[in-house]
Structure 1
C-alpha cells in the first residue's frame, strides 16, 4: 500500500526511500529543453522529490524513469493542490483587503470629500444650499458662510470637506492634490519589484503591510490636513511595495488550477459592504479610518506563518531554504514528505546551462525584450489605466449618482460577491472560459455600460434615466473590479517569466497610476462639461478591449514560465486540463507516467 514518507523516519544524509513502501506518485512531468542562454534561470522551476532512490540516479539531474523532471507546479499538486496552507494564506490576505478597502473609502478623495449642505439661520440672513448646489456654486456659498453667524450643516458624515472647510478653497485644489498623490505610489511601484526580487516576497509584504496599518492610524489622529497629507504621501510610497509581492507570493504558492481562487483573496467586496454600512454609524471620518486600520492588525500577525516563495529561493540558488520551505508547506497541508538540499543542487549543478549562464540583472526594460512580450506589456498597461480611471470616476463623482453615497459603496461591494463563484465556475465548469475570453467579455460589457451613462450625461437626462445610469455605473464598476481585475492580475502573473514577474506586477501597477493622475482633472472639467469623466472612462475601456483582442494569448491552465524563451514560445509550457494533452517540443507527452515504479 502506498503511504507518504514521515519526516521523522528519514535520517540525516542521502534520502534512500524504502522501495517496499513507495511514496505518493506524481504524474505527467515534462522537460523544458532548447532554452536560450542568458534568459531567466531555466532551472528555477525544476525539483526532485524523495520518491526517487538516490542510489538509482546517475550523474546529472534527478529524473523519473521516463527521463522527465519535476516542476514546482507538480510539487504543489503532490502535497495537496489546495490545502490548509493555501486556505490560511487566502484568509490572511482577505482580512487585510477588508481593512484596506474600508480605509480607502475614508480617504480625502472619496467619502472624505463628501460635500454637506449648508443653512444659515441669522435673523437678517437666512438661506439654504443643498450639497449639489454647494458643489456647483462653491465660491458663492463660501462668501455667504463667512458672513453667517448661525451656520448649520446637513450631512450623515462629518467629512474632511466639512472639517477643513474646503468649500472656501480654490476649485482646482483637490484636483491638483489628487493628481499629485499617485506620484509617491508611482515611485514605489518603480522599485518594489526590484526590492521584492532582492529581499524576497515575504519581507516586502511584511514591511508594506506594517506601514499601511501604521499610516492609517496616524492619519486618523492627525491634527491638521497638512499632517494628514505627509503621512499619506509617505504611505503612498511605502505601502504599495507589498502589493505586487503579495500577488506574486500567493499565486506562486499554489497549483495552477487554483490561482484564480487565490487571486480573489485581494477583492474589496466585503470591505466596501462594511464601509457602506458602518460609515454612517461611525459618523466621522476619523473614527472610521481608525477602526478600519485596527481591523488589519490580527491579519498582519498571521503573515508571520507564511513561507517565502520556493521559486524565488531556487532562482537565488538558496537550495536549503527552498527545500525547507516546501517541506513546511507540505507539513502544513498534512503531507509528511521532505525535500532535500542535495537533490535540488544536483538538478541545478548537472546542467550545462547552469554552469555557463551568467547572472543578469533584470529591469522593466526586459518586459519589452521581445516583440511578443512588448505587446503583452502594452495591453496590460492600457487595461491597468482603464481600471484606475473607472474606480476613480466612480468615487470622485459618487455624489453625482442617484441615491445615497454610502449605499452606492455598499452595492459596489455586494454586487461583486458573485464574481468569484462565476469566475471559478466558468474556469472549472463544463464550459471553460479562459483568461482571454473572461477579459474580453467582461471589459466589453463594462465599456457598453459606461457608454450608456455617458450618453445620459450628454443628453442631460434626469429622473429614471439617471437611476438607470447609476445602475449601469455600479454594475460596470463591479465587473471591472471583479472579473476584469482578476483576469488582469492573472495575465500579468502568467504571461511573464519568474525573474521579471514581480517587476511586471509592480511596473503595470505603476503605469496604471497614469489613470489616477488624469481622472481628477476629468472630474474638475466636469464643472464645465459634465460628461467629461464618463467620456474618458468609455474611451480607455474601448482601447483596453482592442489591445487585449489583438495581442493577448490564452494562458488557461498553463504552467508559469520561468524564462524569456518560455514566455515567448508558450507552446513549450506544460498544460493541465481535463483530458488534455499538449505538444511539448513537438512531441506528445505520455499520460499518467509515474516518476518511479511501484515495486510493491
Structure 2
C-alpha cells in the first residue's frame, strides 16, 4: 500500500515525493535580529556617514565662525583729532581703547597684508562697541533652543522631521547673513541659523545611532567629529580672504548636500517602537534591496510584530520624562554634569589659545589636523580590546584631562603666562581628548541608557547643556581670564574632578548592551531579562504559528480515526503517533522549529539556572547568559544557517528511510483487509510533510 501510494505521488507530480516549498515564517523578537538581516554596517550606513561628514563642513563653518575667523582683529588706521594725519593702532596694544578714545575721530581696519577681513573688522567691534560676545551668546542660545525643540519633534513625529527642509533653510540663512548691514542683523540671522542647526544636530545624531548595531556605533559617533570640516573651513578662508565671500563659497560647497539628505530613511527602530509596522517594513525592505545593502531580506508586519511590546496608543514624552524614575533621573544628572564639563573645557581651549591666534586660518587648520587621528585611535581600541569599555573610556579620558590641567595650573602659578607655548600645547592635548574621546563616550552612553521613545529628547537635552556651557564660557570664563587667569583653569579642573568622582560611582558599563525601546524597559531593564533568548523565540513562534497548524492537523487526525473505526481502508499520509483506537494517545507534531529550539535552549542554558543553586548565583548566571544572548548580534545569521543545515539533513535522512521501507513493504503480502502503517512510518511521513 505504501509503495503504491508513493508511486502514485510520483506519477501524479512526475517527480519524487518532496515537501512543499513554502515561505519560512520568521519571527523577530528584538531589533538587533532585524539589523543582522539588513547588515548593520553596509553601503547605506557608509553613505550616511559620508553625508554627515559632508554636512559638518556647513554646520561647523556657521556655528564656530565667531570663535576664530569672525573675531580676527586687524590693526586700525586712526584719523587723529588734531588733523595732523593718521596713526596705526596695533590690535595687541594694551591701551588701544584709551588711544582710540582720546586721539581718534574715526578708525578703519587696515587691509594691507590682512590674512582675513573678519566681521569684527567690518563692523568695528572693539572697545565699547565689542559686541562679539553678544553674537556668540545669540548663536549658542539658538543652538540650545533648536536642540530642545528637535529632541521633542524627533520623538513625537520622527527623526526625519524637517530634515531636508531644515538643511535647506540652514543654507539659505547662511547666505542671507552676507547681506547684513550691521552686527545686530547678523546676530539675528545667525541665531535663526543655529536654531535650525541645533534641531538637525539632535535628530541626525539620534538617527545615525539607531541605524547600526552596538559593534559599529562608535564609527557613526565619530562621523560627527569636525576635523575635516575645520581643515576645509581654513582652506575656504585662505582662498576668499573676506567674511562675506567666505559664506558664499561655504554654502556653494555644501549645496549638493541637500540631495544626500533626501535619500535618508526614517529610523526603522523608532517606527517599530511607535507601532508603525507598515512604514518600518517599507524602510527595512528598501535597505535590504540591492540598491543599498543587497541582503535580499524581506520583511512583513507579521515578522516584526513580536518586537514591540507596547500595543497601546503611543504616548508623547517631554524633557521631564528623562527624570520619570530614579534610574533615569540618576543617569540624566550624570549626563548633565558630563556635557557641562565637556563644554567648559572646550571653552577654556578657545579663549586661552590666543597665542597662535595671530594667524587664525592656520590655527583653524591645525585644530582640524590635531583632532583627525584621535577618533581612529578610539575606534581601534574599541574593536581590538573587549575590556576597553565605556566606563574605562570615561574614567581614562577625565583622568588624563585632570592631570594635564593640574600641570597647567602649576605652570601658571609659578609664573608662566596662559598663552605661552608650553601651556598652549598642554591645553591642545587636553582638548583633543575632551572633544574626541570624552564626547564620543557621552554620545554612546546616552544612546544605550535611554529607550527609543525618549532617545531624541535625551540627545536634545545633552546638546542643550553643551550649548549652555558655551554661554557660561562667554559670560564667565572670558572676564575671569582677563582678571585672574589662574581661575580660568581652576574652574574646569574642579568640574573634571567632580565628574570623575561621580562617574566612578554612578556611570554604568554599557559596552555590548542592547538598546532599549520602551519606557518600561528603562525603568526595570529589558522585559526579557529573566528569560533566555531561545525561549522567547520559541514562545513567539509557537503562539503565532502553531495554533492554526495544530488545529488543521487535529481535524485531519479525527477524520482518519473515524474512517479506521468504520473499517475503511485509509489511503492518507496523515497518520499520527500513538494507538489509533485511543485518541488520547495521539501526539500532534509541533514541527521542527519547536523541536530544534527546545534542544538548543536546553543545551545552552547554564547549569546554575537548571540546578538548585542559590538565588544570587542563579541571577548571576542568568545575567551572563542573557548578555551572551542579547549582546552579540551576529548570532542571528549563524542560527539561521544552522537551522537550515539541520532541516536539510533531517529531510535527506527521512527520504532515504522512506525509500528503504517502501522496498521492504513491497515484499509483504497485499492481502490485508485493514492495512495500517506503523507508528514510525506515519511519523516519518508526517515529518517529511512538515
TM score, norm. by length of structure 1: 0.80
Give the superposition deviation at 1:190. Answer: 2.4
Give the superposition deviation at 1:555. Answer: 1.0
Give the superposition deviation at 1:497. Answer: 0.7
Give the superposition deviation at 1:19. Answer: 7.9
Q: Evaluate the alpha carbon distance shift between residue 252 and residue 126 of structure 1 in structure 2; reply closer, same or farther with a 3 A threshold.
A: same
Match of 2:521 among 551, 561, 566: 566
1:541 aligns to 2:496 (yes or no): yes
Q: Evaluate the alpha carbon distance shift between residue 532 and residue 142 of structure 1 in structure 2; reply closer, same or farther with a 3 A threshold.
A: farther
Q: C-alpha distance in 2, partners of 1:143/1:340?
A: 75
Q: C-alpha distance in 2, partners of 1:407/1:518?
A: 27
Q: Evaluate the alpha carbon distance shift between residue 137 and residue 449 of structure 1 in structure 2; reply closer, same or farther with a 3 A threshold.
A: farther
Match in the other structure for 1:27: none
Give the superposition deviation at 1:80. Answer: 2.3
1:527 aligns to 2:482 (yes or no): yes
Match in the other structure for 2:438: 484
**In 1, are the aligned partners of 2:116 and 2:241 still within 8 Å (CA)?**
yes
Q: C-alpha distance in 2, partners of 1:319/1:525?
A: 55
Gaps of 5+ in 2: 1-17, 534-603, 607-619, 630-634, 649-690
1:174-213 to 2 correspondence within 5 Å? Answer: 174-213=132-171
Structure having the larger proportion of residues in helix: 2
**In 2, are the aligned partners of 1:189 and 1:241 still within 8 Å (CA)?**
yes
- Find the residue that maps to 1:210 and give its secondary structure: helix
Q: C-alpha distance in 2, partners of 1:311/1:149?
A: 59
Match in the other structure for 1:77: 36
Out of 336-345 and 227-236, give the one that drifted further.
336-345
Q: Evaluate the alpha carbon distance shift between residue 534 and residue 315 of structure 1 in structure 2; reply closer, same or farther with a 3 A threshold.
A: same
1:449 aligns to 2:408 (yes or no): no
Q: C-alpha distance in 1, partners of 2:100/2:212?
A: 56
* 1:296-322 alpha-carbon deviations (Å, 9 max, x no partner): 221221111121111111122221111
Give the superposition deviation at 1:177. Answer: 4.3
Match of 2:253 among 288, 295, 318: 295
- Find the residue that maps to 1:220 and give its secondary structure: helix
Q: Evaluate the alpha carbon distance shift between residue 293 and residue 393 of structure 1 in structure 2; reply closer, same or farther with a 3 A threshold.
A: farther
* 1:338-388 alpha-carbon deviations (Å, 9 max, x no partner): 11124334x37xx9x645x45433221221122222121111111211222
Q: Evaluate the alpha carbon distance shift between residue 527 and residue 549 of structure 1 in structure 2; reply closer, same or farther with a 3 A threshold.
A: same
1:434-513 to 2 correspondence within 5 Å? Answer: 434-462=389-417, 466-513=420-467
Q: Evaluate the alpha carbon distance shift between residue 403 and residue 470 of structure 1 in structure 2; reply closer, same or farther with a 3 A threshold.
A: farther
Match of 1:223 among 141, 159, 181: 181
Q: C-alpha distance in 2, partners of 1:187/1:112?
A: 23
Match in the other structure for 1:116: 74
Match in the other structure for 2:294: 334
Q: C-alpha distance in 1, partners of 2:339/2:445?
A: 11
1:384 aligns to 2:339 (yes or no): yes
Match in the other structure for 1:99: 58
**In 2, are the aligned partners of 1:364 and 1:507 still within 8 Å (CA)?**
yes
Match of 2:206 among 228, 248, 252: 248
Match of 2:376 among 411, 421, 430: 421
Q: C-alpha distance in 1, partners of 2:57/2:179?
A: 21
Q: C-alpha distance in 2, partners of 1:264/1:308?
A: 21
Match in the other structure for 1:166: 125
**In 2, are the aligned partners of 1:141 and 1:167 still within 8 Å (CA)?**
no
Q: C-alpha distance in 2, partners of 1:291/1:451?
A: 42
**In 2, are the aligned partners of 1:195 and 1:204 still within 8 Å (CA)?**
no
Give the superposition deviation at 1:170. Answer: 4.3
1:232-271 to 2 correspondence within 5 Å? Answer: 232-271=190-229
- Report how many aligned residue pairs link the two structures: 529
Q: Evaluate the alpha carbon distance shift between residue 519 and residue 149 of structure 1 in structure 2; reply closer, same or farther with a 3 A threshold.
A: closer
* 1:535-572 alpha-carbon deviations (Å, 9 max, x no partner): 33323233332222221111112111113343355586
Q: C-alpha distance in 1, partners of 2:180/2:173?
A: 10
Q: Evaluate the alpha carbon distance shift between residue 330 and residue 457 of structure 1 in structure 2; reply closer, same or farther with a 3 A threshold.
A: same
Q: Evaluate the alpha carbon distance shift between residue 276 and residue 444 of structure 1 in structure 2; reply closer, same or farther with a 3 A threshold.
A: farther
Q: Evaluate the alpha carbon distance shift between residue 106 and residue 145 of structure 1 in structure 2; reply closer, same or farther with a 3 A threshold.
A: farther
RMSD over equivalenced CA pairs, Å: 3.2
Give the superposition deviation at 1:91. Answer: 0.4
Gaps of 5+ in 1: 1-17, 23-49, 54-61, 64-68
Q: Evaluate the alpha carbon distance shift between residue 151 and residue 204 of structure 1 in structure 2; reply closer, same or farther with a 3 A threshold.
A: closer
Q: Evaluate the alpha carbon distance shift between residue 473 and residue 334 of structure 1 in structure 2; reply closer, same or farther with a 3 A threshold.
A: same
Q: C-alpha distance in 2, partners of 1:146/1:127?
A: 9
Give the superposition deviation at 1:414. Answer: 0.8
Q: Evaluate the alpha carbon distance shift between residue 289 and residue 501 of structure 1 in structure 2; reply closer, same or farther with a 3 A threshold.
A: same
Q: C-alpha distance in 1, partners of 2:240/2:46?
A: 32
**In 1, are the aligned partners of 2:273 and 2:310 still within 8 Å (CA)?**
no
Q: C-alpha distance in 1, partners of 2:452/2:108?
A: 64
Match of 2:116 among 157, 176, 193: 157
**In 2, are the aligned partners of 1:105 and 1:275 still within 8 Å (CA)?**
no
TM score, norm. by length of structure 2: 0.70
- Find the residue that maps to 1:157 and give its secondary structure: coil
1:13-28 to 2 correspondence within 5 Å? Answer: none
Give the superposition deviation at 1:434. Answer: 1.3
Match in the other structure for 1:322: 280
**In 1, are the aligned partners of 2:167 and 2:200 still within 8 Å (CA)?**
yes
